[in-house]
Structure 1
Amino acid sequence: VIDAETPRPHHDSASLRLVNLMRMLVDDGAHVVFLPADLHHVEGDTERLRHLGIEAWHAPFATRPATWLREHGARFDVVMLSRHYVAAEFLPLVRRFAPQARVVFDTVDLHFLRERRGAELAGDAGLKRAAERTRDRELALIRQADATLVVSPVEREMLTELLPDARVEVVANLHELAATGLPFEQRHDLVFVGGFRHPPNVDAVRWFGSEVFPLIHARRPEIRFHCIGVAPPPEVQALQAQPGIVVHGHVAELGPYMDGARIALAPLRFGAGVKGKINLSMAHGQPVVATSCAIEGMHLSSGHDVLVADDAAGFAEAVLRLYGDAALWQRLSDHGRDNIARHFSLDAARDTVRRVFLR
């Protein structure tokens, strides 16, 4: 398995998915080797992989990827390359030094789709052209790979139309159900979780903080909005000037916010893939208010396991309604956990993982 860097499952959902995927392979008897393209050792996270039984490499033991693959390529039955920019660099090396191996391209999400939607939201022709260049690169890699992984049926259907001969499989986010935390009456406030190196998260928090939260604060001034995620930029930090908004940055332990905040938010206006922030909250029994974009491909329906709104007034109204309705809150909590068990658990993915990697 080759990804851009060592996965950090406490920092982002893509890392959690990758670690759980490798865990599943180890549990099924595979010998799993992980190489980060940046060759960095990450204290704690590299060791975590080894504790799971994964052979984790880094500098100075691996110095150049081509040299490492020349030495080790003959060992592998399957090589998985994560993200299009990693796959573009490594696929030729794998074909040269591990010609016997099947190549699996893990898109993580379709980058071109996220970029295109961001360009449309911004009305930026330059960004749209860049998204089309990414599209060309991703589709070329899908043609060259023996199998491609996407995280949602929506993305699989899109690729099936574009490349009907490609083998495309869905391996969604992978989560384990957590304890349900505090009951409705003991929970307070709103929480958003998402790393800010990801542009859709920056846009989402800016939109919610500037256009939605003031409507909530005007009616329920005791409600606070907790914003959690690595590397909040100045425009996100500046939202703290508004009463009721707290920007925490990275927190070492998310548990208190999953178990104690009453509602999780996913106010994304563009993006692709499936949203780990939604999975994480639902795995903890924490109901979610989201946009249509945020729940794409996640087997969710508004009023059953999530509340959905796409304009500022509607989003604020959904938050306030859920915040004050214990019966609705419990119903969404229960159905959200059912959604995780049915579509985003390790058991739900096991047959596909075995079919792609072990047969």
Structure 2
Amino acid sequence: MRQVLIIGYVWPEPCSSAAGSRMVELIELFRRQGWPVTFASAAALSEHRLDLASLDVPEVSIRLNCDSFDGFVAALQPDLVLFDRYFTEEQFAWRVERVCPEALRVLDTSDLHSLRDARQRSLKARQQICANERERQQVGAVLDDQATLYTQMAGSDVAQREIAAIYRSDLTLMISDYEMQMLQGPFAVPPALLHHCPLMLIPPRQQPLPFAQRAHFVSIGNFRHAPNWDSVLWLRHGLWPLIRQRLPRAELHVYGAYPPPKATALHAPALGFQVRGWASDAHEVMGAARVCLAPLRFGAGIKGKLADAMACGTPSVTTTIGSEGMAGALPWPGAVVADAHAFADAAVSLHEQPDAWARAQQAGYAILQTRFDREAHGMELVQRLLRLASEREGQRQANFVGAMLRHHAHKSTQYMSQWIAEKNRRTDS
């Protein structure tokens, strides 16, 4: 590839979210092939963003609904354009296709947003029938099967937009094999349009601390991500009181980028519940804890916090939502539970029993070796992209649904964007 253009929904923040880490993994993979990479985004520059210049990646600020983007892409002439999430594809793919029709258009979903949205709506529906906040925070994780999820997703605006973007793209990178199954099964998306590309993890720099040198529990996650905020609420009001009853001196350290005032208001040192906020080194705080708690009641994709826990040798307690797409048939490195009391039992057991803790740690290493091999997944993706480049026209011809969606959807998006651009020009003048 003579030039790769990545259009980011946000600027990469590898210390703030799994999505940020994944983006850096992809950039580094492309750079290792000798492919020049340019990163562009319409987002405001963020506090914790990575200095892309350190990776020899130029940064370009672009504007939504502005014809200046067309000139930028025409000058760059990328062979591959990677769209970070479906709404970025909606905004810019029609412009890329018009200016550089030969460029491969690849979508990275990060996670299947429509799946996360359906589970969040399911959780809210169950909570709405509760009499008070205490009861709402006792509701467990969403356990809907694929048939039920399809029913909830199929009529939603998010699912229709996201899956249309998948069809319009030459290839879509899926981080979770569960989501691959959802798309190829109930939604009947052709396998030729999808590529399973999980996190390509970089191991921590230091040897993990032993059981005796660790203390307390840890929970980590960007507070702006709705599933993470919900898990903090469940911890504070439903789960931590049960654990604290059994371990009166235990502490839970809650880390995450961008904590809002409502999160810091939960800080209660007397109860052992400590909201610490931003962690400059997630591996350091994860590696110092004895057990990671990730009580996710809804969500999608691969959970970076749980991958980090495995890499740091830290057993974890989570839900089926948290473990989804990660372990396959291998045993979980800790426990996967469905309700509050089972969660507390598993957390206390791992915290107090060195043998169980050591077995869980080894299970985590096995998952990383078997399912998250950095070199293997990286090479598979590179080979798929090179093969796609040589077979591009044939695949596009076979993807009639994608061509039809590009014709109709891009025309409406194009005309709306051009109307906004013209309106902005008149306002500026």
CA distance change for structure 1 residues 135 and 43 in 2, over 3 Å: closer, same or farther?
Answer: closer
- The match for 1:163 among 188, 194, 199 is 188
The 5-angstrom pairing of residues 1-359 of structure 1 reads: 1-38=6-43, 40-42=44-46, 45=49, 47=51, 49-58=52-61, 66-73=67-74, 75-123=77-125, 132-161=156-185, 162-165=187-190, 167-178=193-204, 179-241=206-268, 243-299=271-327, 304-359=332-387
**C-alpha contact (below 8 Å) 2:302/2:326 kept by paired residues:** yes
SS at match of 1:123: helix
CA distance in 2, matches of 1:302, 1:93: 44
Q: Which letter does structure 2 place at the counterpart of 1:76?
A: P
CA distance in 2, matches of 1:295, 1:66: 43
Deviation at 1:18, TM superposition (A): 0.6
Classify 1:64/1:129 alpha carbon distance in 2 versus 1 (closer, same or farther; 3 Å): closer
Identify the range of structure 1 (89-98 vs 310-319) with the bigger mean alpha-carbon deviation. Answer: 89-98
Deviations 1:138-183 (A, max 9, x none): 0111111111111111111111121333510111122111134321
Secondary structure at the residue paired with 1:135?
helix
Structure 1 residue 302: Cα displacement: 8.1
Name the CA distance, whole Å, in 2 between partners of 1:281 and 1:3.
Answer: 27
In structure 2, do the counterparts of structure 1 residues 302 and 112 end up closer, same or farther at CA, with 3 Å as the change threshold? same
Q: Which runs of 5+ in 2 are unaligned?
A: 1-5, 129-151, 388-429
Distance 2:123 2:45 in 1: 38
Q: Percent identity?
A: 32
Larger Rg: 2
Unaligned runs of 5+ in 1: none
Which amino acid in 2 is paired with 1:176?
I
Kindly tell me the number of residue pairs found equivalent between the two proteins: 354
Note the aligned Cα RMSD (angstroms): 2.4
* Equivalent position amino acid for 1:102 in 2: L
Q: Distance in 1 between matches of 2:49 and 2:239?
A: 37
Compute the TM-score of the two structures, normalised by the length of structure 1: 0.91
> SS at the partner of 1:70?
helix
Q: Which amino acid aligns with 2:243?
A: I
Matched residue SS, 2:264: helix
> How far apart are 1:45 and its partner, in Å?
3.8
Q: Secondary structure at the match of 2:265?
A: helix
C-alpha distance 123-234 of structure 1, shift in aligned 2 (>3 A): farther
Q: Deviations over 1:176-213 (max 9, x none)?
A: 11134321011110001101111111111111221111
Q: Distance in 2 between matches of 1:46 and 1:316?
A: 37
